[in-house]
Structure 1
Amino acid sequence: MSWDVSYYHTIDVGDTLVTAGRTVTEADVGSFAGVSGDDNRLHTDATSMADSTFGERIALGPLVFSMTTGLPWGRRPSEERDAIVAFYGVDSLRFTGHTFVGNTIHVESTVAAKTPADREDAAGIVRYETEVVDQDDETVLYCDPIVLFECACRDGPKRVPSPFPHPKRPPSLQN
Structure 2
Amino acid sequence: MLTKPFEEYEIGESWTSSGRTITESDIVNFAGVSGDFFPLHMDSEYAKQTIFKQRIAHGLLVLSIGTGLLEMSPNVIAAFYGIEKLRFIKPTFIGDTIFLELKVTDLIDKGNGKGVIAFHQEIKKQTGETVVAAEYKFLLNKKER
With normalisation by structure 2, the TM-score equals 0.92
> Which residue of structure 1 aligns with residue 79 of structure 2?
86
Gaps in structure 1 of 5+ consecutive residues: 1-5, 155-175
> Which residue of structure 2 aligns with residue 105 of structure 1?
98
Gaps in structure 2 of 5+ consecutive residues: none
Deviation string 1:96-139 (CA, Å, 9 cap, x unpaired) is 1000111111000011100001x42x420000101011111111
Q: Which runs of 4+ in 1 moved over 4 A?
A: none
Name the structure where helix makes up a greater proportion of residues: 1
Q: Is the contact between residue 7 and residue 143 of structure 2 (CA under 8 Å) also seen in structure 1?
A: no
> Which residue of structure 2 aligns with residue 145 of structure 1?
136
- Give RMSD over aligned pairs: 1.5
Distance 2:28 2:95 in 1: 13
Out of 6-15 and 31-40, give the one that drifted further.
Answer: 6-15
> Which residue of structure 1 aligns with residue 126 of structure 2?
135
Count of residues in Structure 1 that have an aligned counterpart in Structure 2: 142
Q: Is the contact between residue 17 and residue 72 of structure 1 (CA under 8 Å) also seen in structure 2?
A: no
Mapping 1:13-162, distance limit 5 Å: 13-73=11-71, 80-117=73-110, 119-120=111-112, 122-153=113-144
Distance 1:107 1:7 in 2: 21
Distance 2:144 2:129 in 1: 43
Give the CA deviation at 1:18. 0.4
Q: Is the contact between residue 124 and residue 148 of structure 1 (CA under 8 Å) also seen in structure 2?
A: yes
Q: Is the contact between residue 107 and residue 116 of structure 2 (CA under 8 Å) also seen in structure 1?
A: yes
Q: Is the contact between residue 124 and residue 150 of structure 1 (CA under 8 Å) also seen in structure 2?
A: yes
Q: Is the contact between residue 40 and residue 47 of structure 2 (CA under 8 Å) also seen in structure 1?
A: yes
Q: Could you tell me which amino acid in structure 2 is paired with residue 68 of structure 1?
A: G
With normalisation by structure 1, the TM-score equals 0.76
Distance 1:151 1:133 in 2: 31
Q: Is the contact between residue 6 and residue 115 of structure 2 (CA under 8 Å) also seen in structure 1?
A: yes
Give the CA deviation at 1:81. 4.3
Q: Is the contact between residue 128 and residue 146 of structure 1 (CA under 8 Å) also seen in structure 2?
A: yes
Distance 1:96 1:26 in 2: 21
